[in-house]
Structures are given as structure tokens and as C-alpha cells.
Chains A and B, each alone.
Chain A
Amino acid sequence: GAGVSQSPRYKVAKRGQDVALRCDPISGHVSLFWYQQALGQGPEFLTYFQNEAQLDKSGLPSDRFFAERPEGSVSTLKIQRTQQEDSAVYLCASSLLTGGREQYFGPGTRLTVT
């Protein structure tokens, strides 16, 4: 079946612009995760949803970052007033299970803030 999809795949934003990144998880997957991956580093946890409930948002770097999953399926990560340090690949993962096991990742959205 279809895997996790993310859109757009590439986004260039001018500093100060707002951006919205979309994640379509595998159908029926309960858990959804967002990660930020800087060049040459491992993914860093941002936030975790179980269905529509955001259970952990401890990794969001500032209040400019906001994530939602209103119907327990598609999720959107929004970044307001983008800054250069926000440039990274944003990865979404989903899991049939709760608790973070067996995550399937999407291809990521590469965000470049100029």
C-alpha cells in the first residue's frame, strides 16, 4: 500500500514568512511523529500525536512552531515568522502502534529560509 507522503517536498521561504508542511500518514496508523533533521545529523523529535491528541510537544523549538492533527489522520506542521535556523528537512513518521514503535517515515520536506 501507499507509504507516508509529505508535501511539498521542497519549500523556499523568505525570512519572516509563515509555512505549512503537510503529512499524510499510512491509513489506519494511530501514531504520528514530526522530526527536524539538520544536515549531517540525526532526526530530532518535535512532537507526537496519538490519533488527534497531541501527547508530547516537548521538542518544538519555540512557540513559532505549531502542529495539528484535527481528525486523527492528516497532520500539518506550521512555522510562523520563519528564521534561517529553521532551515532543515522536516520528517513525518507514522506507526500502527502506540508508544513510538515501528515508525514508517515519509521522504521529508526540505525547508530553506533565505
Chain B
Amino acid sequence: GENVEQHPSTLSVQEGDSAVIKCTYSDSASNYFPWYKQELGKGPQLIIDIRSNVGEKKDQRIAVTLNKTAKHFSLHITETQPEDSAVYFCAASTAGKSTFGDGTTLTVKP
């Protein structure tokens, strides 16, 4: 089955700096790669996603890149703000089944 590895597990940055989270996946059949933000006591919230036929997607301060050949994808957050502090999960999906990474706890220091 699919295996998703996510790094780093924790990330601390100063407000205004950029943050990068990386994931690798194993199943070449995966064709959809969402990123979620989860705050304490809440369910994951979709923040950006990318399909396998696209290499990069950007939405304001967040962007995702996908390298299908190398089977890795990354989340980039620019100009970080304290409210970006949360746990971030990547996932790889095919035919309705999603496999999640173990999460990255991002702390943005004011």
C-alpha cells in the first residue's frame, strides 16, 4: 500500500520567515496531493491541493510543488504569521483512499 513520509516533524520560524515542509510517497498510482492544517481540537482543514498533472500551484502565501518522477511534494508558506501555527499534514490519494503523513508542528514566533 501507499506510504507517506513527512519532514520535519517540528518546525519553528520567526514571524515573516518562510516555512517548508516536505513529503515523499511510494505509490506511483497516487494522483492527488492535498495539504491540511489542523488546530487543536478541530478537524483537518484543506488549505491547498495539487493534482498529478500539475507541477506547482500557488494561493496567496502558500504554494505546493510536485515532482512525480521523484515522488515528492512540498508545502511552502511565505511571510509566516503567528496564526499559521498549527499541525500540517500532507496526504497522497488515489481512488478515494488517502494516506496521510504523520504531521509537522509549525510554530511561528512573533
Contact present for A41 and B103 (CB under 8 Å): yes
CA distance A99 to B98 in the complex (A): 10
Contact present for B102 and A45 (CB under 8 Å): no
Known: A56-B96, A105-B43, A108-B43. A42 touches B32 (CB 8 A): no
CA distance A104 to B100 in the complex (A): 15
Interface of B: prevailing SS:
strand
Which of A91, A100, A102 is the one whose CB lies under 8 Å from B97? A100
A31 sits at the interface (CB 8 A): yes
A43-B89, A50-B96, A107-B43 are known contacts; what are 9 more A-B pairs with Cβ within 8 Å?
A4-B43, A41-B102, A48-B97, A91-B44, A99-B95, A100-B95, A103-B98, A107-B41, A108-B42
Interface residues of B (CB under 8 A from A): 4, 6, 32, 34, 36, 41-46, 49, 89, 91, 93-103
List, sorted by A's number, 10 A–B pairs whose CB atoms are closer than 8 Å.
A42-B100, A99-B93, A100-B93, A100-B97, A101-B34, A101-B93, A102-B46, A105-B43, A105-B44, A107-B42
Interface residues of A (CB under 8 A from B): 4, 31, 33, 40-45, 48, 50, 55-56, 58-59, 91, 93, 98-108
